[in-house]
Amino acid sequence: MTYELYYWTGIQGRGEYVRLALEAAGASYRDVAREEGDGVIAAMSKRVATPSFAPPFLKDGDLVVGQVAAILLYLGDKLDLAPKDERLRLWAHQIQLTIADFVLEGHDVHHPIGAGQYYEDQQPESLRRAREFRDERVPKFLDWFETILRRNPDGDAHLVGKGLSYADLSLFQAMSGLRYAFPNLMERLGPGYGRINALCAVTGELPRIKAYLKSDRRLPPNESDLFRHYPELDP
């Protein structure tokens, strides 16, 4: 059966974390709004008994599930992108929720006052938020990811267990956004995180992911996305 992904057109956004899982598994899916326009998202939300608060959401037959971490928890078993062991499945979910926290903090650098206001209307606050994000928050998150890679009993090639999981794909995506938004910061910090760098390099070379990254299905990052590059925030 073909999965249906509902997410805004024009940006990678949170939908990209789901796309990467579907692409890595070679799953059949439709990116519905890209085919029919953004209006289909609201139309579908009005029809289902369990509407998602916001996209992305995934439709699989009669099932509709929203929130990136919940979607990936569901797809992990379906696409063989999560360990079979219940404890490790929960651990992968915990990592995914932490990645979601990290991504939200990256977004709030350029929108610290409110998501409904323009960046230009909150730039002084963004400058302050960016300083803390660069100096305190990014190292704290990256230290944690590096640590759990080092402590993985099955080796440091993956975040969970012996094989590729959706958590690996999501960390790859978060790091891609971070490098786009904060290239100067990552030039300084990046070399200190060898395990993260190795995971991202291997993930980017997976045949299906490599093909996806080169395709027109992979939109380029831009200043409407979660991670945005404003030079003044990355001195």
- What is the arithmetic mean of pLDDT over 200-210? 98
For residues 59 and 9, give the distance between their C-alpha atoms in angstroms, rounded to a whole number: 17
| Span 117-129, pLDDT tens digits | 999 999 999 999 9
- What is the arithmetic mean of pLDDT over 177-181? 98
- What is the arithmetic mean of pLDDT over 191-211? 98
First to last CA, the chain: 48
Going 185 to 220 to 104 to 155, the CA torsion angle's sign is negative
Structure tokens at 232: 């003044």
Helix (H, G, I), strand (E, B) or coil at 6: strand
Q: Per this entry, what is the length of the chain? A: 235
Contact 138, 193 (CB under 8 A): no
Contacts of 232 (CB under 8 A, 6+ apart): 123, 127
- What is the arithmetic mean of pLDDT over 205-222? 98
Confidence of residue 102 (pLDDT cuts 50, 70, 90): very high
User: pTM here?
Assistant: 0.97
pLDDT at residue 94 is higher than 90: yes
Structure tokens at 207: 């045949």
| Span 45-76, pLDDT tens digits | 999 999 999 999 999 999 999 999 999 999 99
Contacts of 29 (CB under 8 A, 6+ apart): 2, 3, 4, 5, 22
| Span 132-148, pLDDT tens digits | 999 999 999 999 999 99
Confidence of residue 6 (pLDDT cuts 50, 70, 90): very high
DSSP secondary structure letter of residue 136: I
Q: Residues 166-205, buried b or exposed e (16+ Cβ, 10 A)?
A: bbbbbbbbbbbbbbbbbeebbeeebeebebbeebbeebee
Confidence of residue 32 (pLDDT cuts 50, 70, 90): very high
For residues 155 and 168, give the distance between their C-alpha atoms in angstroms, rounded to a whole number: 13
The percentage of the chain sitting over the pLDDT mark of 70, rounded to a whole number, equals 100
Confidence of residue 1 (pLDDT cuts 50, 70, 90): confident
